[in-house]
Chains A and B, each alone.
Chain A
């Protein structure tokens, strides 16, 4: 393994580190090449956790492992062969931080974040009469300009209008169904907005005080009262072809409402709730715009910075597979975080940065913990959150590729050298069909923990026998395999096997691995078929569908 710290940087970093006598000093101080003191401070917090729990962190991941990980996390797909080769050959000790900067400016990063957040906000199967494309447009434009997160939250909470012209409306629009005058109309919107944007699960308290935390029933209805002044308006149009009315568009409009809301306790008592954000109460009479006021409190005037805290926790979870709380959107006194000081401090830094999403991403991905290998070592076997332990981030946790990552990665691993072989229209049509299949078969639950592997038979069948992999492993000319087999660049079996490994897994096979592969390949007299089987096996392997 290559160590990437230069002595000079290591010294600077060491000086910044509040050193405590003990285990940590044995390993040299890690840096990706960035000398941002915030990153050093994160490393320090994490190291304290290791020391207190007496775990020895896993070593730093080798360049291939880390490149694949950071590519999947930042741009949503594996690196192509050329990128892998260039990165492995790069001698710059600061190449990791340099790569992070490049990926943050890559348009694919915006696309990836848009997908991730559209999934969180409205789900892969957006509710009826909700425009996921509209929401994506809003998110794409926001992330492309690196708008502060609190501004985005403000828009999501206050937006009004047409679901494609003002895509931010879709977050609330998706949760508003049924009769606007029904007491339950804004219940789903309340539950989702508090869970996603504030990291608080108050939905149980719709009906009763929470059985094991401090949330009280009135708190749910206090939040709910903020969302009483909004409703959806669905517009239909006449379709001459079918002679029937069909969906035209939907919009979010203001609804007259004043005064408190009333709710019933389990004991059958009627109670009253006023618009109140934690301890801050609002004027409930008159036509005060409550959504505006709530958004102000959430995004600008919350002394606890709950919006920032929830975002930091979720983003940490996105990169590590586990956030500081489990699940990431259930924060509160009943569910203490694994690293309370780090979470507090990083939240404050994020607020101080002006809710700068890119900056937060930079801090997390440049941290030591993010750069460790996912392999256990004998000194950190207890750091295993998959069996319920508190995460210590002494190694990277293995995540399952999302359906989008899997699909995009398959295209990278297979399409690389065959662009232009089919017409654009045909390629687009085929892509839509494949996407649909993948979404249906892998779609699953939007809320699954990223570290959960829930493979199913239809998923395995899709990868074993599906059209995409079948084409990917075709040896016809113009395809990837034919290109490798016929290329003068790859002169030996070893070189060709390596090319396949680099393309699918982003790494070079070990000698032992090559030995095993060679043995199986020799059993097949048809050389092309043997390569086909190898590539099929690589694309179907555990390593391919995991981000480790």
Chain B
């Protein structure tokens, strides 16, 4: 008989658990019941990452790194938070302030790409665009590394909620983001008739496909069949309930702010609970605020973000998932410290902030420092490489992992970045 190693654990990790639990002294039967009793814990111990994407580039100077007293300071005041004394954030993020002992802000991102497409690519992949190779977005990397270890997962390992996905690049379409809309609807998942009909059709498909599979043309015909099996599994899986946010009690939805964005975050939590290792949530607001930045932030963008993320942190904690789930919130760049003539801010990649926490990372910290006008960095600065290396570290993906591009070039995970020390110690 073979012992199934709980997925999400390496064999060595598993064995160390076994010996730590003194399993050597137990008989096989009691050992197995021990495993069953802890099955729920194993599920919780699965690592995951939720990326909250602020498309367009958020004015982080008005959110996470305010500059009162500077001509660049804008209209908002900083407030104290549950985190460290120097971790003050915007007054329009009051709910989040209460849980900031769990989350940290990296204030010294410096990422050089201030074009939407290039910045989006860079922040998702840790590589700058290159015409000879398409780098995988980090969710695809996580899917590639962790999906094979989660045999019980019947839905894809990388799910993108609420919009266009990024490219899996040389890791292949099997690790492409599985895109659902804000309501969790999957395109084409509904065949428009009942399960009996689906089964009839698949029976017919088997009769048709069989002759090609037997025609001695290699494995390609069979590979096709396996994809259809997975599609069928998905269409009929009970895990699809993870997309059904309406199953949550109204109180839960209220706790996330009762907004579309809040519901997307609830869906993310449900997916993580099901074992999905990477979820990207596209914030539905546009953050490319060249005009009227303060009005937009005050009236729509920040209140939704505030309640949503605070709700997510509290809810993950209530479900015992927070310690294993990294939450990252960012866009493709920050926005200019200087306020333009339209009371807006333009693209700015030199000095900006990212919100990150959970998954065992340090909370409550302000990491890195910008000058009084928010223009220059006065500490170590960080790249997406370092950010994703930090996430990889938290997900227990070894940092010496190397993938190979289609043309044979070795590609280090997170482009060889180093985990941000103040987040992991």
Q: Which residues of A contact B (CB under 8 A)?
A: 128, 175, 177, 188, 191-192, 195, 201, 203-204, 327, 330, 374-377, 384, 386, 398, 400, 437, 441, 444-445, 447-448, 451, 453-462, 464-466, 470, 510, 512-513, 516-517, 519-521, 523-524, 529, 533-534, 536-538, 540-543, 545-546, 548
Residues in chain A near residue B26, CB distance under 8 A: none
Residues in chain A near residue B204, CB distance under 8 A: 517, 520-521, 533-534, 536-537
Of A377, A464, A466, chain B has the most CB atoms within 10 Å of the CB of: A464
CB distance from A347 to the nearest CB of B (A): 22
Q: Complex: how many Å from CA A520 to CA B408? A: 47
CB distance from A205 to the nearest CB of B (A): 12
**Structural contact, B220 and A542, CB atoms closer than 8 A:** yes
Residues in chain A near residue B215, CB distance under 8 A: 375
**Structural contact, B207 and A520, CB atoms closer than 8 A:** yes
Output the nearest chain A residue to B175 by Cβ-Cβ distance.
A456
**Structural contact, B131 and A546, CB atoms closer than 8 A:** no
Q: Complex: how many Å from CA A398 to CA B223? A: 13
CB distance from A322 to the nearest CB of B (A): 13
Q: Complex: how many Å from CA A192 to CA B408? A: 16
**B170 is an interface residue with CB less than 8 A from chain A:** yes
**B130 is an interface residue with CB less than 8 A from chain A:** yes
**Structural contact, B172 and A191, CB atoms closer than 8 A:** no
Residues in chain A near residue B134, CB distance under 8 A: 445, 447
CB distance from A459 to the nearest CB of B (A): 7
**Structural contact, B211 and A510, CB atoms closer than 8 A:** yes
Q: Complex: how many Å from CA A455 to CA B221? A: 11
Stretch of B54-62, B182-190, B356-364 on the interface side: B182-190
Residues in chain A near residue B213, CB distance under 8 A: 542
**B191 is an interface residue with CB less than 8 A from chain A:** yes
CB distance from A201 to the nearest CB of B (A): 6
Contact of B211 among A175, A512, A540 (CB under 8 A): A512
Residues in chain A near residue B216, CB distance under 8 A: 375-377
Q: Which 7 A-B pairs have the closest CB atoms?
A: A460-B231, A455-B227, A542-B224, A461-B188, A537-B204, A537-B205, A542-B221
**Structural contact, A375 and B217, CB atoms closer than 8 A:** yes
Q: Can you list 22 A-B contacts (CB < 8 A)?
A: A177-B118, A330-B408, A374-B217, A398-B217, A398-B220, A444-B173, A444-B176, A445-B406, A447-B406, A453-B223, A458-B178, A458-B188, A460-B230, A464-B231, A512-B211, A520-B204, A523-B200, A537-B201, A537-B208, A537-B209, A541-B208, A542-B212
What's the count of A-B pairs with C-beta under 8 Å?
164
Q: Complex: how many Å from CA A389 to CA B102? A: 54
Q: Complex: how many Å from CA A533 to CA B208? A: 11
**Structural contact, B207 and A516, CB atoms closer than 8 A:** yes
**Structural contact, A175 and B131, CB atoms closer than 8 A:** yes
Given the known interface contacts A204-B409, A542-B224, the answer about A192 and B132 at a Cβ–Cβ threshold of 8 Å is: yes
**B14 is an interface residue with CB less than 8 A from chain A:** no
Residues in chain A near residue B218, CB distance under 8 A: 376, 384, 386, 398
Q: Complex: how many Å from CA A464 to CA B216? A: 26
**Structural contact, B211 and A513, CB atoms closer than 8 A:** yes
Of B173, B204, B210, B225, chain A has the most CB atoms within 10 Å of the CB of: B204
**B27 is an interface residue with CB less than 8 A from chain A:** no
18 more CB-based (< 8 A) A-B contacts, given A445-B406, A543-B208 = A188-B131, A191-B130, A398-B217, A445-B169, A445-B172, A447-B406, A453-B224, A457-B231, A461-B231, A461-B234, A462-B187, A513-B208, A517-B208, A520-B200, A537-B208, A543-B209, A543-B212, A545-B224
**B156 is an interface residue with CB less than 8 A from chain A:** yes
Q: Complex: how many Å from CA A453 to CA B174? A: 10
**Structural contact, B200 and A457, CB atoms closer than 8 A:** no
**Structural contact, B174 and A456, CB atoms closer than 8 A:** yes
Residues in chain B near residue A519, CB distance under 8 A: 207
**Structural contact, A128 and B131, CB atoms closer than 8 A:** no
Given the known interface contacts A461-B186, A461-B187, A461-B188, the answer about A516 and B210 at a Cβ–Cβ threshold of 8 Å is: yes
**Structural contact, B207 and A517, CB atoms closer than 8 A:** yes
Given the known interface contacts A375-B217, A464-B231, A533-B200, the answer about A541 and B209 at a Cβ–Cβ threshold of 8 Å is: yes
Q: Complex: how many Å from CA A462 to CA B209? A: 18
Of A327, A455, A513, A538, chain B has the most CB atoms within 10 Å of the CB of: A455
Q: Complex: how many Å from CA A447 to CA B130? A: 13
Q: Complex: how many Å from CA A430 to CA B210? A: 33
Q: Complex: how many Å from CA A188 to CA B130? A: 7
Output the nearest chain B residue to A194 by Cβ-Cβ distance.
B132
Output the nearest chain B residue to A189 by Cβ-Cβ distance.
B131
Q: Complex: how many Å from CA A457 to CA B226? A: 10
**Structural contact, B221 and A546, CB atoms closer than 8 A:** yes
Contact of B223 among A188, A204, A376, A455 (CB under 8 A): A455
**B379 is an interface residue with CB less than 8 A from chain A:** no
Q: Complex: how many Å from CA A460 to CA B409? A: 31
Interface mask (B283-317 → A, CB under 8 Å = 1, otherwise 0): 00000000000000000000000000000000000
Output the nearest chain B residue to A449 by Cβ-Cβ distance.
B406
CB distance from B391 to the nearest CB of A (A): 24
CB distance from A331 to the nearest CB of B (A): 12
Residues in chain B near residue A437, CB distance under 8 A: 187
Residues in chain B near residue A470, CB distance under 8 A: 192
**Structural contact, A465 and B191, CB atoms closer than 8 A:** yes
**B30 is an interface residue with CB less than 8 A from chain A:** no
**B247 is an interface residue with CB less than 8 A from chain A:** no
Residues in chain A near residue B131, CB distance under 8 A: 175, 188, 191-192
Q: Complex: how many Å from CA A128 to CA B209? A: 42
**Structural contact, A454 and B174, CB atoms closer than 8 A:** yes
**Structural contact, B212 and A541, CB atoms closer than 8 A:** yes
**Structural contact, A462 and B188, CB atoms closer than 8 A:** yes
